[in-house]
């Protein structure tokens, strides 16, 4: 997304590496060129520029799939010109979508009779899925309040402060107050007891996360369900649950089948999952399923007939590609329960290799849990000398993309690094990463001594101001001398 840009001279044109072979003039950067260029030149220019992107396979920041089998890539390319919304024209694609919805609904234990079909839809991702699920809750709540003659202008939703940004978007775009249960040090998911205390007559739903984005931990949906059932008995307030299973929806059914988090719990009315995370499809596919037809108000469904026969739709967008739906269907039938279980178990084993490697260094606290999304979230035991952000930055030099971030309220003082283990992250890579983290730690350990060295060379001037050592960088090419506070410690002064 481009919000604004300030054009400088260097911004104006895009040069091609092979300019003299293909084109002699540069292309304007922000304006459409007047003339055409040969297709080979266009390809070369774009391909050359894209080389500077990170390597998706080494992007350990993301849950989103970066590898699929070549057979599936072939199916994707073959369907790239089909619009998913042309259901009458591409009835087979629509049929495959419906099969996926039903398979996923069964995976989540939807209470469907033998001849019943599931209620759900394919989306661009979990964000769109969550907007749709949220709208259904809001409308159902409004209808109920209206029927009771009560005000229906102040809907709210209860979540943990650890929710993904799409919930904040839902709240702001669709005017629902977001009531967040705050976190605390050492506890980084929604506390079900506090959540249920925050519920009132205006609560449209409580959103629980199966696999917190921050540390992969599963929230206790069963306890939340039981507490809400109890509240219903005591007060008559009947508040539904939505489970945001963006990443956990394709993990829990395969490696934690006993865990009750889905439609086995009566208060759970809808669930979303990202097909492009552990559903193992490239970016651009999510799913939302409802427990019953009654949980999706009829008036939200549009019936269109201008593409052919009557087609019900409930999506935010109209046109979109159908490749991702086809790719999801490929994965479901290609892998089956057995294949998904193998992939998820393998991810979990590689997560353990990485976690144990990090524990062995003795430098980190592990913030992720044994049960949850296969990821390792960790923070420095001693961050008085260096921060997690510095580690993240230095790992980039080795090609690794490992994000560092601070926790939300009220645990903002905790910073973590997070490595997401995907199918294509092998054990060899896990071991290599531990070695590179060790190298980075070593580099950081010797960094303060370089500062001392520079002080002794006279490149830096140090001054004791009581609490801190103030080091002034004397460099003629920076206009203002830069002051770096160096904490006074017993043996070695350090950056802070």
Ligand X SMILES: *Cc1c(COP(=O)(O)O)cnc(C)c1O
Residue 307 or 316 having the CB closest to ligand X: 316
Whose Cβ is closer to ligand X: residue 92's or residue 316's? 316
164 vs 202, which CB is nearer to ligand X? 164
Q: Whole-angstrom Cα distance, residue 141 to residue 171?
A: 15
Element (H, E) at 85: none
Query: CA triplet 202, 289, 325: central angle to 5 degrees?
Result: 140
Residue 162 beta carbon to ligand X: minimum distance, rounded to whole angstroms: 9
Q: What is the closest distance, in whole angstroms, from the C-beta atom of residue 466 to ligand X in the complex?
A: 47
Residue 416's DSSP bridge partners are: 405
| Cβ proximity to ligand X, 181 vs 394, nearer residue | 181
Integer Cα distance of 49 and 29 in angstroms: 12
Residue pair 431/438 in contact by the 8 Å Cβ criterion? no
Least Å distance between CB 358 and ligand X?
22
Which of residues 79 and 213 has its CB atom nearest to ligand X in the complex? 213
CB of 159 to ligand X, least distance (A): 10
Strands 156-160 and 203-209: parallel
Q: Closer CB to ligand X, residue 110 or residue 208?
A: 208
Q: How far is the CB of 64 from ligand X (least distance, A)?
A: 7
- The nearest distance, CB 492 to ligand X, in angstroms, is 40
Between 286 and 374, name the residue whose CB sits nearer to ligand X. Answer: 286
Choose among 165, 348, 181: nearest CA to 246.
165
Task: Give whichever of 32 and 165 is closer to ligand X, judged by the CB atom.
Answer: 165
Residue nearest to ligand X (CB): 125
Map residue 473 onto helix, strand or coil.
strand
Q: How far is the CB of 493 from ligand X (least distance, A)?
A: 41
Q: Which is nearer to ligand X, 78 or 316 (CB)?
A: 316
Least Å from the CB of residue 214 to ligand X: 9
In the bound state with ligand X, the residue whose beta carbon lies nearer, of 22 and 405, is 405
Least CB distance to ligand X at residue 220 (A):
15
- Write the CA distances from 204 to 177, 238, 298, integer angstroms: 10, 10, 17
Is 290:136 a contact under the CB 8 Å cutoff?
Answer: yes
> What whole-number distance in Å separates Cα of residue 67 and Cα of residue 49?
22
- Which is nearer to ligand X, 218 or 400 (by Cβ)? 218
CA 270 from chain center: how many Å? Answer: 19
**Residue 1 CB, nearest approach to ligand X (Å):** 15
CB of 212 to ligand X, least distance (A): 7
- In whole angstroms, the minimum distance from the beta carbon of 181 to ligand X comes to 15
Residue 88 near residue 311, CB atoms below 8 Å: yes
DSSP secondary structure, 98-163, as one string? HHHHHHHHHHTT----TT---EEEEESSHHHHHHHHHHHHHHHHHHHHHHTT---S--EEEEETT-
Q: Which of 259, 171, 169, 168 lies closest to 222 in space, CA to CA?
A: 259
Sheet-wide strand order for 241-244:
119-123, 286-290, 268-274, 241-244, 203-209, 156-160, 177-181
Which helix (H) or strand (E) segment holds residue 496: the answer is: none
Task: Print burial letters for 100-134: b (CB count within 10 Å at least 16), e (below 16).
Answer: bbbbbbebbbbebeeeeebbbbbbbbbbbbbbbbb
Residue 205: strand, helix, or coil = strand
Q: Which is nearer to ligand X, 268 or 469 (CB)?
A: 268
The span from the CA of 219 to the CA of 456, in Å, is: 54
Note whether 43 and 27 are within 8 A (CB): no
Cα separation, 77 vs 486, whole angstroms:
56
Binding site for ligand X (CB under 6 A): 63, 125-127, 164, 166, 209, 213, 244, 246-247, 274, 286
Tokens of 429: 């890579």
């Amino acid at each position: 997304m481009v919000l604004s840009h300030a054009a400088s001279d260097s911004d104006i044109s895009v040069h091609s590496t092979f300019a003299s072979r293909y084109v002699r003039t540069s292309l304007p950067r922000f304006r459409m060129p007047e003339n055409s260029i040969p297709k080979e030149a266009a390809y070369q220019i774009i391909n050359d520029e894209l080389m500077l992107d990170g390597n998706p396979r080494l992007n350990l920041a993301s849950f989103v799939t970066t590898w699929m089998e070549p057979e599936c890539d072939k199916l994707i390319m073959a369907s790239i010109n089909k619009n998913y919304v042309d259901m009458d024209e591409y009835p087979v694609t629509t049929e495959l979508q419906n099969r996926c919805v039903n398979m996923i609904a069964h995976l989540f234990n939807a209470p469907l009779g033998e001849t019943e079909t599931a209620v759900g839809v394919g989306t661009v991702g979990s964000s769109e899925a969550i907007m749709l699920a949220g709208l259904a809750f809001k409308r159902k709540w409004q209808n109920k309040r209206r029927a009771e003659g009560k005000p229906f202008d102040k809907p709210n939703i209860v979540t943990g402060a650890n929710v993904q940004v799409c919930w904040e978007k839902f709240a702001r775009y669709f005017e629902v107050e977001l009531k967040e249960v705050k976190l605390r040090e050492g506890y980084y998911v929604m506390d079900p007891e506090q959540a249920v205390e925050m519920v009132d007559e205006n609560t449209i739903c409580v959103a629980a996360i199966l696999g917190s984005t921050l540390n992969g931990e599963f929230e206790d949906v069963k306890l939340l369900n039981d507490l809400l059932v109890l509240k219903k008995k005591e007060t008559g307030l009947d508040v539904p649950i939505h489970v945001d299973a963006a990443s956990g929806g394709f993990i829990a059914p395969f490696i934690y089948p006993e865990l009750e988090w889905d439609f086995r719990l009566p208060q759970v009315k809808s669930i979303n999952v990202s097909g492009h995370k552990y559903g193992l499809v490239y970016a651009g596919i999510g799913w939302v399923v409802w427990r019953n037809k009654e949980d999706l108000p009829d008036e939200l469904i549009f019936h269109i007939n201008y593409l052919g026969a009557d087609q019900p739709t409930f999506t935010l967008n109209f046109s979109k590609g159908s490749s991702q739906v086809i790719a999801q269907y490929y994965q479901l039938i290609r892998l089956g329960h057995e294949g998904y279980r193998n992939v998820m178990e393998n991810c979990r084993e590689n997560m353990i290799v990485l976690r144990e490697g990090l524990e062995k260094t003795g430098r980190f606290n592990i913030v992720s849990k044994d049960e949850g999304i296969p990821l390792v979230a960790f923070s420095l035991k001693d961050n008085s000398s260096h921060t997690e952000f510095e580690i993240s930055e230095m790992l980039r030099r080795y090609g690794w993309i490992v994000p560092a971030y601070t926790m939300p309220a009220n645990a903002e003082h905790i910073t973590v690094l997070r490595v997401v283990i995907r199918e294509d992250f092998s054990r060899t890579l896990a071991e290599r990463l531990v070695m590179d983290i060790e190298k980075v730690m070593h580099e950081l350990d010797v960094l303060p001594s370089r500062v001392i060295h520079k002080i002794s060379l006279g490149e830096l001037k140090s001054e004791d101001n009581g609490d801190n050592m103030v080091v002034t960088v004397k460099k003629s090419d920076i206009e203002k001398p830069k002051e770096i506070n160096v904490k006074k410690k017993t043996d070695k002064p350090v950056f802070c």
